[in-house]
Amino acid sequence: MPPPPDRDEIARWVRERDPRRRSGLWEVADGVRQAQVGDEVHLRGLIEISNHCVRHCAYCGINAGHRALARYRLDPATVVVLAQDAREADCGTVVLQAGEDPWWTGERVADLIRRLKVEVGVAVTLSLGERPVEDLARWREAGADRYLLRFETGNQDLYRRVHPPQRDWGRDRRDQLADLRRLGYEVGSGFLVGLPGSTWDDLVDDILLCRELDLDMVGIGPYLPHPMTPLGRTVAPADPEQVPAADVPTTLTSMALLRLLLPTVNLPATTALGILDPVEGLEAGLRAGANIVMPDFTPDTERRLYSIYPGKEGAGPAGAERVASIRRRLIAIGRTVGTGAGTAPVWHRRREGAA
């Protein structure tokens, strides 16, 4: 296996513009992916259970300040049916995603997790934003397996500007990631590539921070400006000498570097990548180190309203139709649909080490 790149090498790679050299790096990462986690691609059925959010993140299309956006919540019975659909379409995991929505109380979410475990029999990933540690503990006890919470950028000044803290909260996402680890979750996080205000050095730091956090899953995607957000409305085109490009090659190179730094991590080819390149984005991600895909099972009407970035609402079919298309595309590049929950090998090893 190639040695993990050091900081200087990462800094050179992210700015590399020679297509041949870049492709060479992606191929090396693909080889590491194959050797470490195999050819299986695990499907996570995404269910966006609510687009209500109390937060004002400057980059996000469902932030509380976007008052023109119609809001929805799926009821728990509907979520169970959607999860069954996902299970039947070979998704060993469902991902419950929402804005920070107080309607989804600790107890309501715990009840839903229990139903998914008993009635559907799937691994459950939660992506419900920043929540009190009591809720996280209760959900873990109810059977939740994983939690996704992106740190978005490790640059703390920038983070506070784009992600205004909640009053009286006193915790940030990094604190919550530590709590999730302590509670025994598989922990997923990640960042935005090309977030306005970030620098090339920040991108290098963000890649290295994923290793420092010893993540089980890393989800990264290019920043896509949403016209109904403070950042999307106000930020002028960035100077590419200063700000990392929010483009496909920079995202693929970042993914490849993450695969080299964290060889057994679960690494999705994200929807945002597929929006920048609808024809080849999925395949390109899977050839640059990715081993996870997250087909969306949210019903069409609600999916259109979960517009965290532009283009997501129209990102192809949903549900079983989407899975059939993904399956064809996987087979065409020599990959297979994974069976089982697709737990990150690194998480098992950590558990064994702790025993």
- Residues binding ligand SF4 (CB under 6 A): 53, 55, 57, 60, 62-63, 99-100, 129, 308
In the bound state with ligand SF4, the residue whose beta carbon lies nearer, of 150 and 329, is 150
In the bound state with ligand SF4, the residue whose beta carbon lies nearer, of 133 and 341, is 133
Alpha helices in 154-265 (DSSP H): 156-162, 173-182, 200-212, 230-234, 248-261
In the bound state with ligand SF4, the residue whose beta carbon lies nearer, of 235 and 341, is 235
The whole-angstrom separation of Cα 346 and Cα 226 is 35
In the bound state with ligand SF4, the residue whose beta carbon lies nearer, of 15 and 71, is 71
Q: Are 84 and 120 in contact (CB under 8 A)?
A: yes
Q: In one letter, which amino acid is 40?
A: E
The whole-angstrom separation of Cα 286 and Cα 325 is 15
The dihedrals phi and psi of 186, each to the nearest 5 degrees, come to -75, 130
Q: Smallest distance, Å, CB 98 to ligand SF4? A: 7
Q: Are 194 and 279 in contact (CB under 8 A)?
A: no
Q: Smallest distance, Å, CB 121 to ligand SF4? A: 28
Q: Smallest distance, Å, CB 17 to ligand SF4? A: 31
Q: Are strands 221-222 and 336-337 parallel, antiparallel or unpaired?
A: unpaired
In the bound state with ligand SF4, the residue whose beta carbon lies nearer, of 246 and 337, is 246
In the bound state with ligand SF4, the residue whose beta carbon lies nearer, of 48 and 205, is 48
Q: Smallest distance, Å, CB 100 to ligand SF4? A: 5
Look up residue 222 and give its two tokens. Answer: 């290019």
HSE toward the beta carbon, residue 326, CA cutoff 13 A: 34
Q: Smallest distance, Å, CB 315 to ligand SF4? A: 17
Q: Smallest distance, Å, CB 9 to ligand SF4? A: 31
In the bound state with ligand SF4, the residue whose beta carbon lies nearer, of 49 and 344, is 49
Look up residue 181 and give its two tokens. Answer: 């680890």
Q: Smallest distance, Å, CB 235 to ligand SF4? A: 17
Residues whose CB falls within 8 Å of the CB of residue 50, separated by 6 or more in sequence, listed in order? 71, 72, 73, 74, 98, 99, 101, 103, 104
